[in-house]
Chain A
């Protein structure tokens, strides 16, 4: 009885499996890599496309920027209608790769640096090389060419950091230290210039009964930015960047990283951070700091708006205090890169769109939204906090101190790094164990990439 039913089941299985083909075999991409851009795109070239719709996918954080850019673009190229889709960061990261692989694919998208998203896009031949566009528009003079590495790949997507340019962003985003000016003065603490002075300031604040650092880590990533700051004080930035871009022989296991990790753990046991930080969200923590709680907040420049609004004149910002080397270093990079789909049938319009974002003439608009333009030209700052952030940016750029994000280094590093760091901070594992876990993930990925 039962055997018989099993037999029928088995027959169905065989039937269904023979009807299957290998997955993904029909995703032949019709890439139009033939057209080379040698001159800036003209209005006439775009007009020649006729009435078209340009599909653009952007991170929700770009909302205000797009509100300025899109009308400007549509005024200049009246035959193009921009169809903008804004997505939350997690959602964008999840959907952008399959969307570009699918049909119809959007024309212009934002990806994310590193092997997880951009690497997959390059490897799948889903985005177009922008090296020719960069030359045509002379991005090399408007931006620091040393920074192009984070968008550069070998054509098969196996090597990161060098090769062809596949994307670009007009803004820099990096982690620094926000501080509450009034409280700092009340506690009689001088603005720290070095890492040691910073550590001393924390101790003094703690003794005075103040929460030295506001942290909310239920989203798992905020603590990695705090670690980036401490790591920057001990480990040379170039070492961290080599690991992230997958340079052979790189290692996360080092005495300097161990010192940085143990310093962080030490700060936790001394109670320097918000109590119960793993149960507080990043946004709630930001809101708390903006409402006047705590002395320092280690956060990205993208929090400048919220904090400036809350603390007003009392809001200040400094670059990560440097360690013994005297060089500023810490988590940060250019913003999410803009890419052009390799399947777009509106290449001229797509190039014109990206070129308009990257145009240094657009930088003042970016600055007016409290963003930090990555163009080398200097700008008027609209507020004291923005001035602070721009100055800090200059220091970071000068020392080539932006150490990117460790999760760029492999396609699953985000999960490993964030979870292990939480475990380490809670005292569940030792420094050696988290370093080993990160290195194992890196090694496995390098092997699969090369083999």
Chain B
């Protein structure tokens, strides 16, 4: 039996944990709404909140460009990775791939290998291919670096599908592609959904690759990079404006999270246990 005291402690701890998790966000939202001077323009107020910093951050930071870039890069990475990883995950789970173990060990290496290990060579590669400062310089390596995680994730899922389902499909005369297309992918919908969301988040937030591979083309810089430059730029030294920029940049992800969080977290928990 649980006594009241135990329950109170439990909720106290949980609420405290939640407050700590949310406080830094709360504090920059708070900062971003303070006006730097007392003679703030009235038209920038909304329901008593001062929004001038947002106007300034949006105008000076040109974050609309960055958001489009991030959206484009992340979508391409997710689609390309999913396409390749579904095929490979299927093969590793349900076919006799030659040298499967060796390849899987290599993928496992790739999973834990730090990006620092490849970023120098990627820079040289992209620069000799004249791809530096283009979307390709970001998309191709990001797809490749996401591959181990995606392939291993899907392989794990596909191998949990009961053999009887697949066998009955092949009795019906479905070939490999058909059984993948019409049976396995529909079954894996939620696993693929979680994977897609995670890949999207990883790509959207990736900083080091963007910093190295698209260093000087402001028109295709992704959101984290342009925010980092904005915050470090000598002409944007007012903390409230920087805070507003940070909030603006975090907003799309937060909104998407609001809708996806339940399934995302459930998916991660079940995925993490299976791995």
Contacts and interface: CB of A to CB of B under 8 A. Distances in A.
Interface of A: 5, 8, 23, 85, 87-88, 90-91, 94-95, 98-99, 102, 281-284, 286-287
Given A23-B124, A98-B127, A283 B237 contact: yes
A91 B215 contact: yes
B229 A88 contact: yes
24 contacts: A5-B101, A23-B124, A85-B216, A87-B216, A88-B229, A88-B232, A88-B234, A90-B232, A91-B215, A91-B216, A91-B229, A95-B215, A95-B216, A98-B127, A99-B216, A102-B127, A281-B237, A283-B234, A283-B235, A283-B237, A284-B237, A284-B239, A286-B237, A287-B238
Contacts of B232: 88, 90
List 8 A-B pairs, minimum CB-CB distance, nearest first. Answer: A283-B237, A283-B234, A95-B216, A5-B102, A284-B237, A95-B215, A8-B102, A287-B237
Contacts of B19: none
B233 A88 contact: yes
A88 B216 CA distance: 10
Given A5-B101, A8-B102, A91-B229, 7 more contacts: A5-B105, A8-B99, A23-B124, A90-B232, A91-B215, A94-B215, A283-B234
Interface string B44-59: 0000000000000000
B216 A282 contact: no
Interface string B215-241: 110000000000001001111011100
Contacts of B215: 91, 94-95
Nearest to B101: A5
Interface of B: 99, 101-102, 105, 124, 127, 215-216, 229, 232-235, 237-239
A146 B166 CA distance: 85
Q: Secondary structure of the A side of the interface?
A: helix
Contacts of A23: 124
Contacts of B127: 98, 102
Contacts of A284: 237, 239
Contacts of B234: 88, 282-283
Nearest to A284: B237
Nearest to A96: B216
Contacts of A283: 234-235, 237
A87 B102 CA distance: 46
A347 B108 CA distance: 54
A281 B242 CA distance: 13
A8 B232 CA distance: 47
Nearest to A95: B216
Contacts of A85: 216
A283 B102 CA distance: 54
Contacts of B99: 8
Contacts of A99: 216
A194 to B, nearest CB: 33
Contacts of A282: 234
Contacts of A281: 237
A282 B234 CA distance: 8
Contacts of A102: 127
A409 to B, nearest CB: 25
A88 B234 CA distance: 9
Contacts of B238: 287
Contacts of A286: 237
A85 B233 CA distance: 16
